[in-house]
């Protein structure tokens, strides 16, 4: 084999030496390529996987079934109504007297808004849960990691002083507000909350509050 190669070289004039290749290959283009690939994969990787928030709605009572909706204590009830433009209306108790509806108070989704109201009402449970979490962090209570959640939900179940929040949505509310308010519920560790339909009286109350606000704004301008 070697002889044949030599013969070929000689045929081409004899002066030419077989070219010497450097033993180390230039890696720069490969680095470039890898850079591009890494960037591509970094950008397409879904790093922040979407999260889920669980919500359970009360079972619908079918019309032909003779089941009464569960009664709840009036003193513990807080009604939260999602309004337009990220507004939140709320009132305690129940609106059952059309002639004398309870006054609606308006707030928003900021940290000083609905959260303070909820925290204030739910202070006992919130303290209990944060004390429990602190105890776990400092090692006062040693329980397996898996049962932390169930212990907290047990605390929530045993709570009988915190508010019962009824979330309602005015027709111009946004879906984002609905998620926000449920989020607030979990931030404030509210044990009992649910989503119910807006009654006609409440709708009227919201409309009245909205028009009053508009009038106030018009007067200011």
Helix axes 123-138, 147-158, angle to 10 degrees: 160
CB of 7 to other proteins, least distance (A): 36
d(CA 221, CA 147): 57
**Cβ distance to other proteins smaller for residue 102 or 107:** 107
Shortest Å, Cβ 200 to other proteins: 16
Query: How far apart (Å, rounded) are the C-alpha atoms in residues 152 and 191?
Result: 10
Residue closer to other proteins, measured from CB, 79 or 177: 177
Shortest reach from residue 110's CB to other proteins, in Å: 11
Write down the least CB distance from residue 126 to other proteins, Å: 7
For residues 60 and 71, which CB has a smaller minimum distance to other proteins in the complex? 60
Q: Measured between alpha carbons, how far is 169 from 203 in angstroms, rounded to an integer?
A: 9
Give SS3 for 79.
strand
Task: Output 16 or 49, the one with its CB closest to other proteins.
Answer: 49
Instruction: Kindly state the smallest distance separating residue 202's Cβ from other proteins, in Å.
Output: 15
Our CB check for other proteins shows the closer of 11 and 28 to be 28
Distance, CA of 171 to CA of 168 (rounded, Å): 10
Measure the N-to-C terminal CA separation of the chain; round to a whole number of Å: 100
CB of 173 to other proteins, least distance (A): 4
Q: Tokens 């180390």 label which residue?
A: 24
Give the integer Cα–Cα distance in Å for 165 and 43.
Answer: 42
Are 107 and 113 within 8 A, CB to CB? yes
Q: How far apart are CA 127 and CA 120, in angstroms?
A: 11
78 vs 168, beta carbon nearer other proteins: 168
Where does this chain bind other proteins (CB under 8 A)?
A: 24, 26-28, 30-31, 34-35, 37-38, 41-42, 44-46, 48-60, 82, 111, 115, 119, 126-127, 130, 169, 171-180, 182-183, 186-188
Closest CA to 185 of 95, 117, 87, 107: 117
């Amino acid at each position: 084999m070697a002889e044949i190669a030599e013969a070929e070289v000689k045929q081409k004039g004899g002066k030419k030496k077989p070219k010497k290749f450097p033993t180390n290959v230039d890696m720069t283009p490969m680095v470039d390529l890898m850079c591009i690939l890494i960037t591509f994969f970094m950008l397409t990787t879904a790093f922040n996987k979407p999260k889920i928030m669980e919500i359970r709605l009360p079972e619908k009572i079918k019309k032909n079934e003779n089941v009464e909706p569960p009664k709840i204590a009036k003193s513990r009830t807080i009604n939260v109504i999602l309004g337009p433009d990220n507004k939140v209306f709320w009132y305690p108790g129940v609106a059952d007297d059309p002639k004398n509806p309870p006054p609606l108070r308006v707030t928003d989704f900021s940290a000083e808004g609905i959260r303070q109201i909820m925290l204030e009402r739910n202070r006992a449970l919130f303290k209990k849960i944060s004390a429990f979490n602190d105890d776990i962090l400092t090692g006062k209570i040693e329980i397996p990691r898996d049962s932390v959640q169930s212990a907290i939900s047990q605390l929530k179940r045993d709570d009988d002083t915190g508010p019962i929040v009824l979330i309602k949505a005015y027709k111009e509310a946004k879906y984002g507000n609905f998620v926000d308010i449920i989020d607030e519920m979990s931030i404030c560790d509210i044990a009992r909350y649910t989503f119910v339909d807006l009654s006609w009286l409440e709708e009227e109350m919201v409309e009245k509050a909205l028009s009053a606000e508009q009038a106030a704004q018009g007067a200011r301008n």
